[in-house]
């Protein structure tokens, strides 16, 4: 539970900082689109992180195979919703050219997921391969 509280504290600080940064800015179509991406992405990111619980680690480890909740559909929801969250913030800040960072971010996330998949497949074998077959990214 300690990791979940730490993550939620970081998210809360980020939301407060983002709100402070965004105050007083005009509501342009870019900003509206960004918020339309940020809000659900943030909620789903937090849900995914809480569901992962103590199985969360910065480096690829295989402590448990989480396959319930949002993980029953998406193998890496933290990466998916984290990327969407970043994209939404970039749009809110009206800096669409910053989206070029995804040219670096996406290949790094794919590399990381492959390492994690290797570790999970070694630890959980056929159970992981079956889970992988039924889910997206």
CATH number of the domain to which 125 belongs: 1.20.120.1630
pLDDT of residue 3: 54
pLDDT higher than threshold 70 for residue 1: no
Sign of the C-alpha dihedral, residues 101, 112, 73, 47?
A: negative
**pLDDT, tens digit (0-9, with 9 covering 90-100), for 45-83:** 989 988 887 666 656 677 889 999 999 999 999 999 999
Q: Which structural domain range is residue 49 located in?
A: 2-134
Encoding tokens for residue 24?
């007083």
Predicted TM-score of the model (pTM): 0.82
Q: Total structural domains in the chain?
A: 1
**What are residue 74's DSSP bridge partners?**
136
Give the mean model confidence (pLDDT) for residues 14-18.
77
The better pLDDT of the pair 19, 125 is held by 125
Q: Which of 20-24, 63-67, 132-136 has the lowest mean pLDDT?
A: 20-24
Q: Of 47, 52, 56, which is closest to residue 11 (Cα–Cα)?
A: 47
pLDDT of residue 4: 63
Distance CA 124, CA 118 (A): 10
Distance CA 136, CA 15 (A): 28
Q: According to DSSP H, which parts of the chain are helical?
A: 2-22, 29-52, 77-92, 102-124, 126-134
**pLDDT, tens digit (0-9, with 9 covering 90-100), for 74-116:** 999 999 999 999 999 888 888 888 889 888 999 999 999 999 9
The residues, any chain, with a CB within 8 Å of residue 84's CB and separated by 6 or more, are 37, 41
Q: Give the 3-state secondary structure of residue 136.
A: strand
pLDDT of residue 26: 86
């Amino acid at each position: 539970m300690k990791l979940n509280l730490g993550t939620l504290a970081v998210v809360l600080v980020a939301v407060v900082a983002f709100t402070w940064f965004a105050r007083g800015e005009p509501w342009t179509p870019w900003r509206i689109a960004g918020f339309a991406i940020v809000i659900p992405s943030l909620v789903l990111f937090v849900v995914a992180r809480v569901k992962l619980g103590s199985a969360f680690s910065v480096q690829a480890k295989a402590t448990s195979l989480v396959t319930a909740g949002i993980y029953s559909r998406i193998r890496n929801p933290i990466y998916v919703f984290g990327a969407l969250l970043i994209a939404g913030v970039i749009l809110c800040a009206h800096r669409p050219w910053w989206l070029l960072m995804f040219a670096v971010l996406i290949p790094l996330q794919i590399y990381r997921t492959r390492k994690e998949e290797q570790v999970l497949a070694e630890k959980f074998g056929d159970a992981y391969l079956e889970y992988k077959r039924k889910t997206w990214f």
